[in-house]
Structures are given as structure tokens and as C-alpha cells.
Amino acid sequence: MLFSGALGALGVGIAKGGTDTAAFDGDPPRWASVLGVVLVLVGLSIGIGAVVWSVRSGRHRAARQSPLLTLSWSHRRRLGRQVRRGTQEAGEDPALLGETARQFAGLRWSAGLTTGLVVLSLGQALLRFAPFWAVLSAVLTVAGTVGVVLVLRDARRGEAFLRDHPDLAAG
């Protein structure tokens, strides 16, 4: 579906002769160009810094080697729900609950990555200075903000779960 839409858009672009419309092309004032470049560079720096930090701190490898990856989506969702609520269902594997809570607490770095991508998007919108890019940047900013808030909330809940269940904290 997405592929056919992209092919259709490519066909329309070729048929139109490759000229841009006013919705996609803008002529940014100097302040917008300078601020756009600065925001793109800051966003790239934040995003790259978050990825480098996650790899160097071992969080990336720990997430890739997690035993949770072998579980079904429904089981992982159930574990996440228990950690978010601070409860432990009868018969649930305590080691998996502890691992879920540790992963929740360790995902703060992804908030930095998302923030970097949002700042990068804002910079690109200023460089393009056109309605389409402004709308796209606004949508990405809202989605990124919601994502960051949810990740930070889950990190706090994971830490609280480990505090409330010290027997599960050791990994």
C-alpha cells in the first residue's frame, strides 16, 4: 500500500515535469536559514550523542540480548502492564518482571534520541520554510513529545517497581 502510494507520487512528479509546488518549496529569510542550520546540527548532535552513549554504556547490547525478545508480544505487553501498575500476578516469572522493570528504567536514553530527531525536524522545517514542512514538523514534534513523556513515565514506573520489589532488583 505504502509502496504503491510512493510509486503514484513519483509518477505524478514525473508527469508534472519535476517542478515543485508552493506547498513544498519556500524561500526562507536569512534568520530562518541560520536557525534551521543550527537546529539541524544540534539535533544531529543530540541524536548521535544518545546513540553513542547507549552503545558505550552497554544499554544497547543489554536490550538486544534480553530474554524478553524470545517472548510473544502479548506476554511482553502483560509484563509491561504489571510493571506499570506495580503489581505482580500469581504465577508470573519474577526474573522476567525484574528484567522488564530494568528495561523500562534503562530506556531514558531513547528520550534523548527522540528529542534530537524532533529538533532536527524543526531545523529542516525552517530550512524549507514551506507549509508542508511546517505541518510535518508540527506532527513530528507532537508525536515525539508524547513519546518522550511516555518513555520517561515508564522509566519512573520501572524504577518504582524495582524499589517496591527489592527481591527482583538484582539482575
Residue-level pLDDT at 49? 94
Strand, coil or helix: what is 20?
coil
Residue-level pLDDT at 155? 93
For residues 119 and 126, the answer to whether their CB atoms sit within 8 Å is: no
For residues 68 and 118, the answer to whether their CB atoms sit within 8 Å is: no
Q: Which residues of 99-119 are buried (b: 16+ CB within 10 A; e: fewer)?
A: bbbbbbbbbbbbbbbbbbbbb
The closest of 105, 115, 79 to 94, measured between CA atoms, is 79
Whole-angstrom CA distances from 41 to 1, 123, 129, 156, 157 are 34, 8, 17, 30, 33
Whole-angstrom CA distances from 7 to 39, 43, 92 are 32, 30, 48
Residue-level pLDDT at 5? 67
Domain boundaries, the chain: 27-169
Per-residue pLDDT of the chain (171 residues; tens, 9 = 90+): 666 666 666 566 666 665 556 656 677 888 888 999 999 999 999 999 999 998 998 888 887 888 888 889 999 999 999 999 988 888 888 888 989 999 898 888 889 999 999 999 999 988 888 888 888 899 999 999 999 999 999 999 999 999 988 887 665
